[in-house]
Chain A
Amino acid sequence: MEKKWFTISVYSENNVGLLNRISGIFLKRHINIEGLNVSKSEIEHVSKFTIVVNTTEDWTRKIVAQIEKQIEVIKAFYHTDDEIIYQESALFKIDSHLLFDERQIQNIIKESNSQIVTVSREFFVLAKTGRRHEIDEMHDELEPYGIMQFVRSGRIAVTKATMPISALLNQYENEK
């Protein structure tokens, strides 16, 4: 089966140790986590993990089932890139003299829709928010000139379809 990018969204209780439990499921199958973001969600006291992997759909489905099986996980989903609205952010630290010596740098900044966060005598920092391939493209364009530091954030994503977490939690409360 063909490998694809999948974004796994995990809604869970906010408990110490759960990240270890979830990452262990990837470890067991020797799957690399390409992106990870943990934040609060739209529901009070419910955390959301956004995990990006590059693997087959079959394995993604099995992993999601094994994640969902964990006691403190409320619900887990997986989506392809076209089923979600997502963003990633990146910071590029670049030698300041390039900003003046290399005309192309200014073009890259403009065309990539990135922002200059700070400029000092030694370096300047560019921030870029966008889809993964946009950040990759910008990285490739800047690389020949030299990037002093690069970092990309985990993915944040919302789905086009609804995620009925509140309904699930309400259902539990009602059954109780």
Chain B
Amino acid sequence: MDTITKKKASEKNPKTMRVSGAEAIIHCLLAEGVDLIYGYPGGAIMPVYDELYKFQDKLTHILTRHEQGATHAAQGYARVSGKVGVAMATSGPGATNLVTGLADAQIDSTPMVCITGQVPRHLLGSDAFQETDIIGISTPVTKWNYQITRAEEIPGIMAKAFFIARSGRPGPVLIDITKNAQFDELDFQYEACTGVRSYKPTPKVKEANLELAAELINTAKKPFIVFGQGVILGEAENELKEFVEKSGIPAAWTILGLSALNTDHPLNVGMVGMHGNYGPNVLTNECDVLIAIGMRFDDRVTGNLETYAKQAKIIHMEIDPAEINKNVKVDVALLGNAKETLELLLPRIKKNSHESWRNEFSLRYEEEFKAVIEKDLHPKKEGLTMGEVVEEINKASKNKAVIVTDVGQHQMVACRYAKFNQSKSNITSGGLGTMGFALPAAIGAKMGAEDREVVAIIGDGGYQMTIQELATIYQNKTAVKIVVLNNDHLGMVRQWQELFFERRYASTVMTNPDFVKIAEGYHIKAQRVTERKNLKAAVQEMMSSNEPYFLEVKVEKEDNVFPMIPSGASVSDIRLK
């Protein structure tokens, strides 16, 4: 930080330097290793933007076209890199536009720090221009938030913000900074935060519980693993693989757990939940020991709790004590980081293969293949399916791409069929189900993993919620590949209307614009596929391009995603059609 040394040292303390609050914020970001942030300027954050201008050789600011885009880009960046994503906005509407991204990051445990400008301290509470109580508004959707009103608070609070965002179960933190605190000077000295006395991010694993868990696992006849994002956030992918291989236990994943274990691993039996695979759902209600690793028994995973895995003993490895016994009553709770817990558990686990039990999964897979998968991936009908497009992307990318999805049918299909051989590769809005997530998240993902291919798969509905980020892609030459699976409907809602509302298609039919022309308007190469015979070449052309690329695929308008657990039904009542 040579700019620091050039600064005039404070007269009171030669170890510190005298800087404005706005400049202090930049130094805090640099000290935390941040070199890229997303945001949108405005009145109350202008002093910080002025400093960003001066520090642009060290800290890149990406101007998104909407503050929501900034948060999703920061999320995409964080999810793919494991680092903290940073988004910045002004007060008032700038700040409120962050709320969806904050809520998404909160429910999906994404480390993110959002910085908002605020009206000067003396105007707080006076309904000043662009004043909004963003602390009050963001409280339920942040892991922590704080309003800085004095410049001296900046280094301590920023350090705390990054520590809280990334430690334990990660999450979003919002720091609101009044304009006077940006202008005022302080004696700046940065010290990274290593602890907060009222906050215990990572509970210690209890030895006795490890023994209990090992005993259950070693004596189980039909054990079953369900892993979630806790494996990725805890960087426990290798430990999970070892555990699965040593114990011989079939392992399924939640949507956010996808890519923690290679999709072609012989013990990877697929996805659990509403549109998950048939075997893992049905056999949840037949296993004798259910080992949940870094997942939270979301209702989309469990279906009806009254009939969820009642026959099984349940072991829950989880970092957040509030998740234990929240939805599902467990027999053994292993509180702690997934990596540490698995490391401690591994030597206690006996080698096993569970062949006949694994065969149960294979049999169910064959059933699902005949009823669903074959039709999705190798359709005989004329219309294109979403599944065959995903399959074509798998082939062209050799399973190496980062796949970013939005929310809806295309998301379920992509998560069911995308192949991964590397962790942190599946970026999607899981808990919140935020339409509009994918396009900006893909920008962040590409910037967080520049050497990787990033493919955003999006529906025609969600695409139009944040379509303006095409300008961000054009301006920054972000080489993301955008695939819109266009069925001219809000497909998932339409599917529910078909199945549960007697085909009353209320507001789910979309008259869409010419997406190719729109992409071209943003100077992005674009192509449309309407027939199967052109699909392969189009996907290959897209994947071999070094630039941003837009591909619209017109798919069958009224296809449904199966299997499906109807809302409120039991996992074992999953429907194949």
Nearest B residue (CB) for A75: B198
Which residues 19-74 of A have a CB within 8 angstroms of B?
20-21, 24, 28, 61-62, 65-66, 68-69, 71-74
Tell me which of B147, B194, B197, B325 contacts A169 (CB under 8 A): B197
Cα separation A65 to B335 with both chains bound (whole Å): 13
Q: Chain A interface: which of B132-140, B226-234, B265-273, B391-399? A: B132-140
Is A65 in contact with B139, judged by CB distance below 8 angstroms? no
B383 adjacent to chain A (CB < 8 Å): no
B residues within 8 A CB of A69?
320-322
Is B144 in contact with A71, judged by CB distance below 8 angstroms? yes
Is A71 in contact with B198, judged by CB distance below 8 angstroms? yes
Known: A68-B322, A69-B320, A71-B164. A13 touches B140 (CB 8 A): no
Is B139 in contact with A24, judged by CB distance below 8 angstroms? yes
A100 adjacent to chain B (CB < 8 Å): no
Known: A66-B322, A72-B198, A172-B197. A20 touches B136 (CB 8 A): yes
Instruction: Return the CB mask of B253-279 against A: 1 if under 8 Å, else 0.
Output: 000000000000000000000000000
Cα separation A20 to B137 with both chains bound (whole Å): 10
Which residues 95-139 of B have a CB within 8 angstroms of A?
135-136, 139
Which residues 138-176 of A have a CB within 8 angstroms of B?
169, 172-173, 175-176
B residues within 8 A CB of A173?
197
Nearest A residue (CB) for B200: A172
Is A172 in contact with B195, judged by CB distance below 8 angstroms? yes
Is A65 in contact with B326, judged by CB distance below 8 angstroms? yes
Instruction: Return the CB mask of A68-86 against B: 1 if under 8 Å, else 0.
Output: 1101111000000000000
B residues within 8 A CB of A71?
143-144, 164, 196, 198-199
Is B322 in contact with A176, judged by CB distance below 8 angstroms? no
Known: A68-B321, A68-B322. A74 touches B198 (CB 8 A): yes
Instruction: Return the CB mask of B520-544 against A: 1 if under 8 Å, else 0.
Output: 0000000000000000000000000
The distance from the CB of A2 to the nearest CB of chain B, in whole angstroms, is: 18
Cα separation A88 to B164 with both chains bound (whole Å): 37
Cα separation A61 to B145 with both chains bound (whole Å): 25
Cα separation A175 to B320 with both chains bound (whole Å): 20
The distance from the CB of B487 to the nearest CB of chain A, in whole angstroms, is: 35
Total contacting residues, chain A, CB less than 8 A: 23
A12 adjacent to chain B (CB < 8 Å): yes
The distance from the CB of B166 to the nearest CB of chain A, in whole angstroms, is: 13
A-B contact count (CB 8 A): 50
Cα separation A63 to B157 with both chains bound (whole Å): 27
Is B135 in contact with A12, judged by CB distance below 8 angstroms? no
Nearest A residue (CB) for B144: A71
Nearest B residue (CB) for A11: B198
Is A62 in contact with B198, judged by CB distance below 8 angstroms? no
The distance from the CB of B143 to the nearest CB of chain A, in whole angstroms, is: 7
Nearest B residue (CB) for A25: B140
B residues within 8 A CB of A68?
321-322
Is B139 in contact with A20, judged by CB distance below 8 angstroms? yes
Is B135 in contact with A73, judged by CB distance below 8 angstroms? no
Instruction: Return the CB mask of B309-352 against A: 1 if under 8 Å, else 0.
Output: 00000000000111011100000000000000000000000000
The distance from the CB of A44 to the nearest CB of chain B, in whole angstroms, is: 13
B residues within 8 A CB of A28?
140
B residues within 8 A CB of A66?
322
Nearest A residue (CB) for B198: A74
The distance from the CB of A122 to the nearest CB of chain B, in whole angstroms, is: 37
The distance from the CB of A100 to the nearest CB of chain B, in whole angstroms, is: 49
Is A12 in contact with B136, judged by CB distance below 8 angstroms? no
Cα separation A65 to B323 with both chains bound (whole Å): 8
Known: A13-B198, A71-B198, A176-B195. A24 touches B321 (CB 8 A): no
Tell me which of B143, B145, B164, B199 contacts A17 (CB under 8 A): B145
Q: Which of A13, A65, A73: most chain B CB closer than 10 A?
A: A65
Cα separation A169 to B140 with both chains bound (whole Å): 26
Nearest A residue (CB) for B169: A69
The distance from the CB of A176 to the nearest CB of chain B, in whole angstroms, is: 6
B residues within 8 A CB of A24?
139-140
Nearest B residue (CB) for A73: B198
Which residues 194-231 of B have a CB within 8 angstroms of A?
194-199
Cα separation A142 to B161 with both chains bound (whole Å): 54
Tell me which of A13, A17, A62 contacts B139 (CB under 8 A): A17
A residues within 8 A CB of B164?
71
The distance from the CB of B205 to the nearest CB of chain A, in whole angstroms, is: 16
Cα separation A169 to B199 with both chains bound (whole Å): 11
Is B135 in contact with A17, judged by CB distance below 8 angstroms? yes
A residues within 8 A CB of B198?
12-13, 71-74
Q: Which of B164, B194, B197: most chain A CB closer than 10 A?
A: B197
Cα separation A28 to B135 with both chains bound (whole Å): 17
Which residues 32-50 of B have a CB within 8 angstroms of A?
none
A-B contact pairs, 5 of them (CB 8 A): A21-B139, A65-B321, A66-B322, A74-B198, A173-B197
| Given A66-B322, A72-B199, A175-B195; 10 other pairs, CB 8 A cutoff | A17-B147, A24-B139, A24-B140, A28-B140, A61-B325, A62-B322, A65-B321, A65-B326, A68-B322, A72-B198
Partner-A contacts on B (CB < 8 A): 135-136, 139-140, 143-147, 164, 194-199, 320-322, 324-326
Which 4 residue pairs spanning A and B have beta carbons closest together?
A65-B322, A74-B198, A172-B197, A71-B144
